[in-house]
Amino acid sequence: MIESAQNANFKRWRSLLDSKGVKKEGQALVSGEKVVNELSKSHKDSVIEVLLSSCLHIGYHTTFKASFLEHQLYQELDIFGTGSPLLVLKTPQIEDWKPELDVNGLELLLPFGDPSNLGAALRNAAAFSVSKVVLLKEASHAFLPKVSRAASGMNWQTPLCNGPSIRELGATSGLIAFDLEGEDLVEFKWPENSRLLIGDEGPGVPDSIEPAFRVKIPMSKRVESLNAVAASSIALFHYRSQFKA
């Protein structure tokens, strides 16, 4: 039973709530009964341990190493209030993106710094079978608890690689950027092998980028722009309407 916040293991688990800790430990904390159950099966070789509250899970059995925490300490880690077992896993190695290689299918480039937005976009990426997600330097860490929750665990199932800053993309081959001054998406004919860039909310797409195409989503002039996740959903659906997965 772990009862002290000064316990070394508890400090490690608590550090997994932010990017610095995830990077340092090479581990991630996942919550939510459905996601925990799914990852326990699909990534069982990556599971390090299961964390349980002393008062909620008396008699709980698992084949993985289990640690019981005093309930208040458990609540510090269960940031979404799930009341279910928490899973600690080794994070996968993410390779660097090689933009000089030929594109195969649709690559999605994401600068989303908000973990919930990144998670939702990764769930979209899985739903529409993108070939690869490029995490730009501006993006949140892909294995934060908030990302895993918003992605419903799809961040663990989607091909990921680390890319440069959005400001360094320049004239990257095959790049399609969503821009308010671009051509109408309704009429746009996608190249089957493409790289899609959705700018983050606020900054958008830098002027330094020289994409092959700039495309806009037609909408009422009363609305300045769409949420970045909503824009990615529309874009991915439109691509898949022309090229089936």
pLDDT band with cut points at 50, 70 and 90 for residue 58: low
Average pLDDT, integer, range 138-153: 96
Question: Which residues make up the CATH 3.30.1330.30 domain(s) of the chain?
Answer: 8-90
Of 18, 52, 235, the residue nearest 127 (C-alpha): 235
Q: Per the CATH hierarchy, to which homologous superfamily does domain 95-242 belong?
A: SPOUT methyltransferase, trefoil knot domain (3.40.1280.10)
Spell out the residues 6+ positions from residue 144 whose beta carbon is closer than 8 angstroms to its own: 17, 18, 19, 22, 28, 115
Nearest Cα to 112, choosing from 195, 27, 204, 238? 204
Tell me the average pLDDT of the chain: 91
How confident is the model over 72-121, as pLDDT tens digits?
999 999 999 999 999 999 999 999 999 998 899 999 999 999 999 999 99
Higher-confidence residue of 179 and 152: namely 152
Q: How far out from the chain centre does Cα 133 lie?
A: 9
pLDDT at 189: 96
CA torsion, ordered 201, 207, 210, 215, to nearest 10 deg: 50
The torsion defined by the Cα of 175, 178, 180 and 184, in degrees rounded to 10, comes to 90
Is the pLDDT confidence value at 124 over 70? yes
Give the pLDDT score at 219: 76
Residue 61 near residue 174 (C-beta atoms within 8 A) = no
| pLDDT for 222 beyond 80 | no
- For residue 114, the Cα-to-chain-centroid distance in whole angstroms is 10
Residue 202 has a pLDDT of 65
Tell me where in the chain the CATH 3.40.1280.10 domain(s) lie. Answer: 95-242
Mean pLDDT of 35-53: 94
> For the segment 167-207, what is each residue's pLDDT rounded down to a tens digit?
999 888 999 998 777 889 999 999 999 999 988 766 667 77
- Count H helices, E strands: the chain? 7, 11
Joined tokens for residue 25: 């430990």
User: Which amino acid appears at position 8 of this protein?
Assistant: A
Q: What is the pLDDT of residue 111?
A: 94
- Residues 32-38: what's their mean pLDDT? 93
124 in Cβ contact with 233 (< 8 Å): yes
**pLDDT value at position 63?**
81
CATH of 8-90, one of 3.40.50.620, 3.30.1330.30, 3.20.20.370, 1.10.3720.10: 3.30.1330.30
